[in-house]
Amino acid sequence: MHRLTNRNILLGITGGIAAYKSAELTRALVGAGANVRIVLTAAGAEFITPLTLQALSGNPVHQSLLDPEAEQGMGHIELARWADLILIAPASADFMARLSHGMANDLLTTLCLASDAPICVAPAMNQAMWRDPRTQENAQRLAAQGVHLWGPGAGEQACGDVGPGRMLEPAELVQLAAEAFGEPRLKGLRVCITAGPTREALDPVRYISNHSSGKMGYALAAAAAKAGAEVVLISGPVSLETPAGVQRVNVETAEQMLVAALELAPSSDIFIGAAAVADYRPVAVADQKIKKGQEELMELRLVKNPDIIASVSALPERPFTVGFAAETENVLSHARSKLQRKNLDLVIANDVSQSGIGFNADENEVTLVSTAGDFKLPRDSKHSLAQTLIEQIAKQMSTNEH
Ligand code: C5P
């Protein structure tokens, strides 16, 4: 059970008779080396006392969102950041309904929204409630949102019914929690990512560029590093902090980005082109600032930039190569043709004509396009989408021969 040593587990306990087993679960998690903090909902507190849970976890139990005293200690945002894993056991039908709809009307649901940690839910309810189409719909929605559903098991229930809806046993939940911290998916692999815009100088003071913020590429770099990879980020000019554990190489122009990419790609296992590379650059860069003349029209002569990702995928020993297709129309057909034309393994397609996603936004909504087919991911923050994308890349890589 060493995989749980020093892991921060936020255990949410909602209202259900299985809450009595959460005491044993707390004990088992602490016994396996985890740091456990408990959030008890109002309904949960009808089944088990905070005192029991405090004694077993060794930490004060969190019960209210709007408690000034609690906020003085570990406030809800701190708690959300603290967690490496959020486990809700037992999870009632009501809690699942609220979580699946993104509600934040108590401390536990708020923490789930505010945290980037994986959320694992151990449903526990009467078999008819579990089978109810509304609960099933909520469970499916949660799964589609990336929430892990652990259980329920089937068997005899506290109410006398027999069927699905039993919370998994504490020992099983501890085992699943340990597995959730299994070997990082990209351990031992090298990942090279391009991010941000490029700047193509016209003269010493002017340049051609675009609105790329670099957020998606940076989020991917952070997620890859978290997944255990050795990450190098080739970055155009952006105002973002380098993610922890990531090596950053700063470049300005597409040609500089190409040089860095061709140097790093051959020793990389994965190459992700998230940069918005300028398609053209001025034929020549003026030595001095270009002066305003009498003429109304000014012509710029541009020359095509090299295609960085296509150059990488043309390498004899090429990494698993992932590109982006930011399009304003016919998104999927453009993405498919990019997959072929640039000889990529995977294209992450997004519609940048939609407001609130894509360029310069904090959210994105993408479809993965590969020879295996299309796979649409729900709209999400770039941060959490990056984790899903890294998971998917790792998965596809292991099924491809590279
Ligand atoms: O051709 P387009 O710019 O739409 O292709 C997008 C994908 O190709 C992105 O992954 C982008 O990083 C990459 N790209 C590149 N070098 C270029 C143009 C695009 O690596 N010159």
**Predicted pLDDT at 244:** 86
The DSSP result for 188-219, as a single string, is T-EEEEEESB--EESSSS-EE-----SHHHHH
Q: What is the CATH number of the domain that holds 342?
A: 3.40.50.10300
324 Cβ closer than 6 Å to some ligand 1 atom? yes
Residue 228 has pLDDT above 90, yes or no: no
**Cα 270 to averaged position of ligand 1 atoms, centre (Å):** 16
Domain co-membership, 205 together with 253: yes
266-283 pLDDT, tens digit per residue, is 999 999 999 999 999 999
Residue 259 has pLDDT above 80, yes or no: yes
- Name the residue range of residue 213's domain: 190-401
**Cα 306 to averaged position of ligand 1 atoms, centre (Å):** 9
pTM exceeds cut of 0.75:
no
Domain co-membership, 127 together with 234: no
109 falls within a domain: yes
| Torsion angle of C-alpha atoms 350, 399, 275, 281, degrees rounded to 10 | -100
**Predicted pLDDT at 1:** 31
Domain co-membership, 139 together with 198: no
Tokens of 91: 């999870």
Q: How many domains does the chain have?
A: 2
Residue with the bigger pLDDT between 15 and 245: it is 15
Mean pLDDT of the chain: 92
Angle between helices 107-114 and 93-100 (to 10 degrees): 40
Domain co-membership, 49 together with 74: yes
Tokens of 72: 């003085």
Domain co-membership, 205 together with 114: no
The answer to whether 159 is a known catalytic residue is yes
308 Cβ closer than 6 Å to some ligand 1 atom? yes
Burial tier of 188 (Cβ tally within 10 Å: 0-12, 13-18, 19+): exposed
**Predicted pLDDT at 185:** 77
Angle between helices 19-31 and 170-180 (to 10 degrees): 50
Which of 45-54, 258-267, 335-344, 346-355 is least confident?
346-355
Residue 402 has pLDDT above 60, yes or no: no
Average the pLDDT over 158-173 and give the result.
93
Residue 65 has pLDDT above 90, yes or no: no
Q: How confident is the model at residue 91 (pLDDT cuts 50, 70, 90)?
A: very high
Average the pLDDT over 284-290 and give the result.
95
376-400 pLDDT, tens digit per residue, is 888 888 888 898 899 889 888 877 6
322 CA: nearest ligand 1 atom: 10
Domain co-membership, 127 together with 211: no
Residue 90: asked if its preceding bond is cis (omega within 30°), the reply is yes
Domain co-membership, 194 together with 215: yes
**Predicted pLDDT at 182:** 72
Ligand 1: which of 304, 309, 334, 346 to mutate, most ligand atoms within 8 Å of CB? 309
At 36, which amino acid appears? V
Average the pLDDT over 92-113 and give the result.
97
Which residues make Cβ contacts (< 8 Å) with residue 22, sequence separation at least 6? 11, 13, 38, 48, 53, 89, 90, 170
312 CA: nearest ligand 1 atom: 20
Q: Among 121, 151, 180, give the residue marking a domain's end.
A: 180
Q: Whose CA is nearest to atom 2 of ligand 1?
A: 325
Tokens of 277: 């590379």
- How crowded is residue 61: how many other Cβ atoms within 10 Å of its Cβ? 23
Domain co-membership, 172 together with 213: no
Domain co-membership, 32 together with 110: yes
**Cα 342 to averaged position of ligand 1 atoms, centre (Å):** 9
Under a CB-based contact definition with an 8 Å cutoff, are residues 12 and 39 in contact? yes
Q: To the nearest whole percent, how much of the chain has pLDDT over 70?
A: 97
Q: 281: which DSSP letter? A: E
Domain co-membership, 371 together with 298: yes
**Predicted pLDDT at 33:** 83
Residue 306 has pLDDT above 90, yes or no: yes
Residue 121 has pLDDT above 60, yes or no: yes
327 CA: nearest ligand 1 atom: 4
The DSSP result for 124-179, as a single string, is ---HHHHHSHHHHHHHHHHHHTTPEE---EEEE-TTS-EEEEEPPPHHHHHHHHHH
Q: How confident is the model at residue 71 (pLDDT cuts 50, 70, 90)?
A: confident
194 Cβ closer than 6 Å to some ligand 1 atom? yes
Average the pLDDT over 139-164 and give the result.
93
273 Cβ closer than 6 Å to some ligand 1 atom? yes
Ligand 1: which of 218, 258, 308 to mutate, most ligand atoms within 8 Å of CB? 308
- How crowded is residue 300: how many other Cβ atoms within 10 Å of its Cβ? 10
Ligand 1: which of 324, 328, 343 to mutate, most ligand atoms within 8 Å of CB? 324
260 Cβ closer than 6 Å to some ligand 1 atom? no
Residue 184 has pLDDT above 70, yes or no: no
